Structure 1
Amino acid sequence: MSSVLDDMDSRPGSTTSLLRTVVGLYLRDAGGWMSAKDIVTLMEALGTSGTVARTALGRLRKKDVVLQEARDGVPGFTLTDGAAGMLARGDRRIYNPRSMSAQDPWCLISFSIPETEREKRHQLRRRLHWIGCGTVAAGLWICPDSLRGEVEEILADLGLRDLTTIFVTEAPLVGGTLQDAASKWWDLEAVATLHRDFIDEHSAAVPLQGAAAVEPDSGAFATYVQCIDRWRIIPYLDPGLPAAFLPADWPGAEGTRLFNRIVAAYAEPSAEFVRSTLGESAVVTVS
């Protein structure tokens, strides 16, 4: 497995996870390069010391997320090609969470991998889980067909396409209810907990109706980065199932609405703070 994908395991709120979020939000739009000093300054706005921030930069470099590159004698970092692709996929997930309709097709992934390739089998299961696939049986996984392209990328990366058959199908026919089946195939309670934790932790950040616009300061930056950092794993693990597959009290729609309101209020003030921090030459746009 590409080591860059290991960063998905960084605990939200940890220094490494927050740094990855800062890199994902702003390094590309700052011309693809950022000085080490500016990165540390941004991390200090999140309450992280320079020493700890530099240690986290070392971790991201080992994970092949960033490369060290000096410009005009100034130490700095750029993204690796693999990280750039990963972040582009992440943008699509983060800002456009999946929502499957009852009429949309499904993708079934059937594989039989020999014991001699057990490490690849483990990585395949791990990566299918991380993109929101469910487990019907040990060698049979399910996901919305909209994820088929990502499944194909994973199979190609692991060299397992010849050992896998993909089926595109209509809604599965189950012996019990669709909700019971979905609760077995996915850990929906864990996903619901992620949504509820996000709602509990970030509801207070939404400005009251009629309140003044958010100021472009370090507080806006910290609020926005922490929001994205907490949210970004949810659209990966939440398959966006149709209502018939979900419990009545499913919190996904509420979490998505809250996320969108925070983006609307904080994305531009946060980007403006980053522009002011990096200097007039920086080009930072809003994702």
Structure 2
Amino acid sequence: MSAVLDDMDSRPGSTTSLLRTVIGLYLRDAGGWMSAKDIVNLMEALGTSGTVTRTALGRLRKKDVVLQEARDGVAGFTLTEGAATMLARGDRRIYNPRSMSESDPWCLISFSIPETEREKRHQLRRRLHWIGCGTVAAGLWICPDSLRVEVEEILADLELRAMATIFVTETPLVVGSLRDVASKWWDLDAVAGLHKDFIREHGSGSDQGPDSQVHTGGVVEPSPDAFSTYVQCIDRWRIIPYLDPGLPAAFLPADWPGAEGTALFSRIVATYAEPSAQFVRNTLLATAGAAVS
């Protein structure tokens, strides 16, 4: 899981991040394996050269995201077991953004880890942050109870379960407003910034926004443009559902952009997911046809 988290640090829009997104979206649908040539061809549709793509593939191999595997003498790549599990979890996050109601329970994670386990303590905090937990105090974290299974997985993976206690509770009783404490427990400004960046880059207000590519009648044809639009959308969006805990309205600023960002994402998926997937299928068929001929 640490390799997966390292990959989450890849800057959206970078070659490594875009390649990881392409692999996450389409390698499983291709039967769990894709030739190196197909991967290069798809990345070329995103404006990335074959040389740069192969370098990025090397990075993902080092991060244990993909394994190099030849089939019928053709060089290609498959997912590692850990990456496959991570992508399945990511699918649930990406396509089903969290939205906590006022009555939903909370999960509190209390831990005391000795200095001899300092590195594990650092990893625990880092990984709790990456799944959307907030920091009440150095050894007390909070998240929606819907994340408790992931918290348990992290504690077990780091062999720290015996050093932690998990509480399930109703809305915490605080001094001051819930909005004030939420802004201290989570970096909501940073999360809001991610939503605003996504809206600015992929909204219809931009000349490059997705609406500008929808043909008359609302139909988008399978094309490199459709593929590029969808992959870049997912690449920019995919970290947001991890860092945004989906807090209830009482915890959020009045001008919170989350609902607008989520609605935009859903619209892009509805419009571009299938044309992009068909473009990938056409690309793979073309490669297979060329090999036969």
Report if the CA contact (8 A) 2:38-2:287 is conserved.
no
Match of 1:247 among 242, 249, 253: 253
Q: How far, CA to CA, are the matches of 1:92 and 1:221 in structure 2?
A: 21
How many residues are paired up? 282
CA RMSD of aligned residues (A): 1.4
Matched with 1:267 is 273
Deviations 1:247-272 (A, max 9, x none): 00000000000000000000000000
Deviations 1:69-102 (A, max 9, x none): 0000000000000000000000000000000000
Q: How far, CA to CA, are the matches of 1:199 and 1:4 in structure 2?
A: 26
**1:3 positional shift:** 2.0
Matched with 1:130 is 130
Give SS of 1:59's match: helix
Report if the CA contact (8 A) 1:206-1:261 is conserved.
no
Q: How far, CA to CA, are the matches of 2:225 and 2:210 in structure 1?
A: 13
Q: How far, CA to CA, are the matches of 1:217 and 1:183 in structure 2?
A: 43
Deviations 1:5-56 (A, max 9, x none): 2111100000000000000000001000000000000000000000000000
Match of 1:229 among 231, 235, 256: 235
Matched with 2:85 is 85
Matched with 2:291 is none
Report if the CA contact (8 A) 2:69-2:78 is conserved.
yes
Q: How far, CA to CA, are the matches of 1:276 and 1:60 in structure 2?
A: 25
Q: How far, CA to CA, are the matches of 1:273 and 1:206 in structure 2?
A: 17
Report if the CA contact (8 A) 1:106-1:170 is conserved.
yes
- Amino acid of the structure 2 residue aligned with 1:217: S
**1:2 positional shift:** 3.0
Matched with 1:110 is 110
Give SS of 1:166's match: strand
Q: How far, CA to CA, are the matches of 1:3 and 1:109 in structure 2?
A: 23
Matched with 1:285 is none
Correspondence 1:22-37 to 2 at 5 A: 22-37=22-37
Give SS of 1:248's match: coil
- Amino acid of the structure 1 residue aligned with 2:120: K
**1:206 positional shift:** 3.6
Q: Quick check: 1:121 aligned with 2:121?
A: yes
Q: How far, CA to CA, are the matches of 1:58 and 1:79 in structure 2?
A: 13
Match of 1:220 among 212, 218, 226: 226
Q: Which runs of 5+ in 1 are unaligned?
A: 283-287
**1:280 positional shift:** 7.2
Matched with 1:257 is 263
Deviations 1:89-117 (A, max 9, x none): 00000000000000000000000000000
Give SS of 2:27's match: helix
Q: Quick check: 1:201 aligned with 2:207?
A: no
Give SS of 1:279's match: helix
- Larger mean Cα displacement after TM superposition, 262-271 or 208-217: 208-217
**1:215 positional shift:** 1.3
**1:207 positional shift:** 2.7
Report if the CA contact (8 A) 1:207-1:265 is conserved.
no
State the TM-score, normalizing by the size of structure 1.
0.96
Give SS of 1:107's match: strand
Q: Which consecutive segments of 4 or more residues in structure 1 shift more than 6 A?
A: none
Q: Which runs of 5+ in 2 are unaligned?
A: 289-293
- Amino acid of the structure 2 residue aligned with 1:84: A
Q: Quick check: 1:11 aligned with 2:20?
A: no
Report if the CA contact (8 A) 1:108-1:167 is conserved.
yes
Matched with 1:148 is 148
Report if the CA contact (8 A) 2:135-2:186 is conserved.
yes
Matched with 1:44 is 44
